[in-house]
Amino acid sequence: MKELYKIYRYCMRSRNLQFKVNSYAKKSKINFPVHFAFGHEFVSSLVKLFIEKNDKLILSHRNIHFVSLFSKNPEIYYKNLFINKKKNNLGSMNYHEKNNQIAYTSSVLGNNFSVACGISFFAKKKSVVICIAGDGAIEEGSFYETLSLAKYLNLPLVFLIENNNWSMYTKINERRCNINLKKVCESMQIKFLKLQLKNFQKSIKNYKKMISYCRTTSSPIVLELPVKTYGDFKKKKYVNYHHGVLSNNVKIYNKIYFEKNDLLFRIKKKIR
Ligand SMILES: Cc1ncc(C[n+]2csc(CCOP(=O)(O)OP(=O)(O)O)c2C)c(N)n1
Ligand SMILES: [Mg+2]
């Protein structure tokens, strides 16, 4: 219960920060698409709970749920980005701060897989590198290449796939065949687990076990986490995909604040 309570606190911190960033982005004249991750907060909270000092994170374009928990001062970071227009900010959805466990983020899809391989090659003993990517990114050839290299080199690398079923504005079945990650991993003798976030307590236990396996055996693992992104309207149609500021539509806010199936809502009920 203590773990669940902590996760809830992290989730809330991340979600509240995202609303704040949305308000900065609205005020700002700079227009670049921060990819919100409403609905993904459980994933970053899980990672935050079990991360150790020398572990590193390698992220993609959708990284705000991690930045909100790993930046020392995420509010200032995003204020500098949108409002203060500091000279040295990156001016994009990519994140960088010195001396942070987030070692790299990339908006080039699939590019973070190979970087994660390189960084995990030099990982300190008993530390792991966690590489986050989506169901779209695994369509890139670099995913397959890095899996086989990570296995060959025994890299302590966690491929954490946030499967929200969307890439840009298409669903999986509108753009490609199904990729059976379990079978892909089996073919290379890589440990794989699909976490069912609906059963959040079991997911916490399983995640802990899998990370510990990667850490102690120095072997790559793949974790698939099905998530539902709270999306936005696109040409008057609601889609579970999102980038840029939230539309000024009360339905969007109602969904994020009040949906009963929301994991945050369900966790809150459990810890009461
Ligand atoms: C090499 C490359 N190709 C295409 C894009 C355009 N692009 C940006 S985000 C995205 C979708 C990514 O989908 P997914 O990995 O599932 O992440 P999600 O946005 O769903 O979190 C695409 C195709 C890109 N950034 N880089
Ligand atoms: Mg996706």
Domain residue extents for the chain: 2-271
Kindly state the tokens that stand for 210.
């899998």
Distance CA(223)–CA(160), nearest Å, equals: 5
pLDDT at 88: 65
- Ligand 1 mutation pick, 32, 59, 112, 167, max ligand atoms within 8 A of CB: 167
pLDDT at 206: 98
Query: What is the secondary structure of the chain as a DSSP string?
Result: -HHHHHHHHHHHHHHHHHHHHHHHHHH-S--------TT-HHHHHHHHHH--TT-EEEE-S--HHHHHHHSSSHHHHHHIIIII--TTS--SS----TT-SEEEE-SSTTHHHHHHHHHHHTPPTT--EEEEEETTGGGSHHHHHHHHHHHHTT--EEEEEEE-SEETTEEHHHHS----HHHHHHHTT-EEEE--TTSHHHHHHHHHHHHHHHHHHT--EEEEEE-----EEETTEEES---SSPPS-HHHHHHHHH-TT-HHHHHHHHH-
Kindly state the tokens that stand for 180.
């059976």
Residue nearest to atom 1 of ligand 1 (CA): 109
Q: Is the CB of 40 within 6 Å of ligand 1?
A: no
What is the CATH code of the structural domain delimited by 2-271? 3.40.50.970
Q: Measure 108 CA to ligand 1 centroid, in angstroms.
A: 7
Q: Is the pLDDT of residue 239 over 70?
A: yes
Q: In 3D, which of 66, 62, 77, 19 has the Cα closest to residue 42?
A: 66
Q: Is the CB of 55 within 6 Å of ligand 1?
A: no
Q: Is the CB of 134 within 6 Å of ligand 1?
A: yes
CA pseudo-torsion sign 236, 240, 244, 250: positive
Give the pTM.
0.96
pLDDT at 87: 65
Q: How confident is the model at residue 83 (pLDDT cuts 50, 70, 90)?
A: confident
Query: Which ligand has an atom closest to residue 132 CA?
Result: 1
Q: Measure 138 CA to ligand 2 centroid, in angstroms.
A: 9
The one-letter amino acid at 49? L
pLDDT at 77: 93
Q: How confident is the model at residue 257 (pLDDT cuts 50, 70, 90)?
A: confident
pLDDT at 125: 95
Top-confidence residue, 241 or 195 = 195
- Ligand 1 mutation pick, 63, 65, 168, 242, max ligand atoms within 8 A of CB: 168
Query: 141-168, pLDDT tens digit by residue?
Result: 999 999 999 999 999 999 999 999 999 9
Question: What are the Cα distances from residue 215, in Å, to 14, 121, 154, 155, 218?
Answer: 26, 13, 11, 10, 5
Q: Is the CB of 242 within 6 Å of ligand 1?
A: no
Kindly state the tokens that stand for 46.
């899980």
Q: Measure 84 CA to ligand 2 centroid, in angstroms.
A: 31
Distance CA(102)–CA(231), nearest Å, equals: 25
Is 70 in contact with 124 (CB distance < 8 Å)? no
Q: Measure 162 CA to ligand 2 centroid, in angstroms.
A: 7
Q: Is the pLDDT of residue 32 over 80?
A: no
Q: Is the pLDDT of residue 80 over 70?
A: yes
Distance CA(225)–CA(164), nearest Å, equals: 8
Average pLDDT value for residue range 209-216: 98
Ion ligand 2 residue ranges (Cβ < 5 Å): 134-136, 164, 166-167
Average pLDDT of the chain to the nearest whole number = 94
Average pLDDT value for residue range 111-118: 98
Token pair 């040409």 is at which residue? Answer: 235
